[in-house]
Amino acid sequence: MLGKEKLKQIANQVLALSSADQMEVLLSVGGHMLTRFANNEIHQNMAWQDLGVSVRVIIDNKIGVASTNSFEPEALKKVVAKAIELAHVQEPDPDFVSLPKPSKGSDISETCVFATESELASGVATIIAKAKQAGLVGSGAYANEVSELVVANSLGLFSYHKGASCNLSTIVLGKTSSGFAADVGKTTQDIDAPKIATIAVTKTLESKDPEAGEPGAYDVILEPQAVSELMAFFQFYGPNARMYHEQASCLSGKMGEKVFGENVTIFDDPFHELVFPMPFDYEGYPKKKLTIIEKGILKNVCYDSYHANKFHADNTGHALPAPNTMGPIPLHLYLAPGDKTRDELIAGIKKGILVTRLWYVRVLNPKALNITGMTRDGTFLIENGKVTKPLKNMRFNQSIPEALNNVVSIENKLTQLASFEGELIGLAPTVHIKNWHFSSATLF
């Protein structure tokens, strides 16, 4: 890690290389380790370190972006020259007004410690031992990352953040079943390997010899990982100012209207005590807690400086790195907890299905926000308020807005989650949803 002062010096060095109308530099430094295991042994074990510099220049409303992975003076000169060259041949963007000016945000001071390869191997060994003991096969990954991020621009903005994360996830396999569990934290001390080993092994044993479920509409209990995999699609396609104004979002034109059930409140909170905090966005603009949905009513969508200027709205601090063709995205979105325990949620169901995880979820229609996907790693039948037997995995076809209008009740606590298939939802409760559409079963 290079530290705030050294990175500030590099950022200033880059900014001094151009006389463009405006210029932004984004610096990143990262050290990573990942220990992967399968068939009850470590099979992939790796470490890598990288850094990055990305430069955005604006000349007469013409924007060029270039990036490289070296802080050597020659490399910095080249990357700035390339961004300028691109800006000169670019067409002007009439909707670009300005990069963000400096503004007061929150500083977050985090303790960032690199894990050792032995610490990661030891966590993995705990899971393997538990799986072996039960006659099962453990697989998974234990990852550690420490990173620094700087955003600076020619208007005087400078933002620095350093963060660390650890993430241990496992899928334990039996002959006819599997079980998933994961834990996340800032250091290896935060990771409870014995606990997740027990959860995954128990799930695998409980889901042994599953029966085929009948397709149809069911009450479902979605556990936190499944809720995360559902909400990740709302996160990208829902409160995104770009899609909202293009009439491409399910929320388009509905500001202030009731869009979901009254028991649904959705926040984006980069300072929540359980998330990996991020004090500013990728333009260096300060982040803050944003209410997106309050008791079912659409309150806000997310803006970066470009879309805020274009649509005459306030910047909410949701920029992604330039060039961003996706639009502003809330990276700390979560469904607010309700008032029931997990057991109470299950007890309230006459006949339904408990889903541990969703898998391979894809959007059929981005505006209607219809999705399809499979269940995975533990699917169970609920009868008369009790989990009665395991089911083979099932395919669902479901509208997210319909699901968020069919929420019966929500668990009273949030679980921290690992980003598994690229989804960025870090917090979720267990949720009871009625009328969830399963369209077919698979063979296992």
Q: Which of residues 55-74 bind other proteins (CB under 8 A)?
A: 63-70
| CB closer to other proteins out of 117 and 206 | 117
**CA 48 – CA 69 distance, rounded (Å):** 13
Does 149 participate in binding other proteins (rule CB under 8 A)? no
Report the residue from 98, 103, 341, 442 that binds other proteins according to the rule CB under 8 A.
Answer: 442
Report the residue from 2, 112, 121, 155 that binds other proteins according to the rule CB under 8 A.
Answer: 121
Q: In what order do the strands lie in the sheet with 333-335?
A: 297-298, 290-294, 266-268, 333-335
Q: Which of 64, 49, 51 is nearest to 18 (CA)?
A: 64
Does 274 participate in binding other proteins (rule CB under 8 A)? no
One-letter amino acid of 192: D
Site for other proteins in 29-58 (CB under 8 A): 32, 34-51, 54
Does 226 participate in binding other proteins (rule CB under 8 A)? no
Report the residue from 360, 383, 386, 388 that binds other proteins according to the rule CB under 8 A.
Answer: 360
Instruction: Mark the segment that binds other proteins (CB under 8 A) among 10-18, 136-144, 219-227, 296-304.
Output: 136-144
Report the residue from 18, 139, 154, 159 that binds other proteins according to the rule CB under 8 A.
Answer: 139
CA torsion 120-123-129-131 (nearest 10°) is -100
- Give the contact letters, 157-196, x = binds to other proteins (CB under 8 A), - = no: ------------xxx-x----x------------------
Instruction: Mark the segment that binds other proteins (CB under 8 A) among 3-11, 83-91, 263-271, 381-389.
Output: 83-91
| CB closer to other proteins out of 260 and 267 | 260
**What minimum distance in Å lies between the beta carbon of 441 and other proteins?**
8
Binding footprint of other proteins, residue count (CB under 8 A): 89
**CA 389 – CA 212 distance, rounded (Å):** 11
- Give the contact letters, 193-222, x = binds to other proteins (CB under 8 A), - = no: ------------------------------
Report the residue from 86, 146, 292, 349 that binds other proteins according to the rule CB under 8 A.
Answer: 86
Does 1 participate in binding other proteins (rule CB under 8 A)? no
Site for other proteins in 365-424 (CB under 8 A): 365-368, 370, 372-374, 376, 393, 395, 397, 399, 420-422
Does 359 participate in binding other proteins (rule CB under 8 A)? yes
Find tokens 């805020």 and name the residue.
308
Does 323 participate in binding other proteins (rule CB under 8 A)? yes
Instruction: Mark the segment that binds other proteins (CB under 8 A) among 154-162, 245-253, 332-340, 383-391.
Output: 245-253
**What minimum distance in Å lies between the beta carbon of 91 and other proteins?**
5
Report the residue from 190, 246, 257, 339 that binds other proteins according to the rule CB under 8 A.
Answer: 246
**What minimum distance in Å lies between the beta carbon of 410 and other proteins?**
26
Buried-state track 27-60, b at ≥16 Cβ within 10 A, e below 16: bbbbbbbbbbbeebebeeeeeeeebbbbbbbbbe
| CB closer to other proteins out of 23 and 414 | 23
Does 81 participate in binding other proteins (rule CB under 8 A)? no
Site for other proteins in 100-119 (CB under 8 A): 116-118
Does 143 participate in binding other proteins (rule CB under 8 A)? yes
Residue 353 tokens, joined: 């299905």
**CA 97 – CA 63 distance, rounded (Å):** 11
| CB closer to other proteins out of 212 and 347 | 212
Q: Give bridge partners of residue 373 from the DSSP assignment.
A: 396
Does 94 participate in binding other proteins (rule CB under 8 A)? yes
Per the document, the length of the chain is 444
Sequence-separated (6 or more) residues with CB below 8 Å from residue 116: none
Contact 165, 362 (CB under 8 A): no
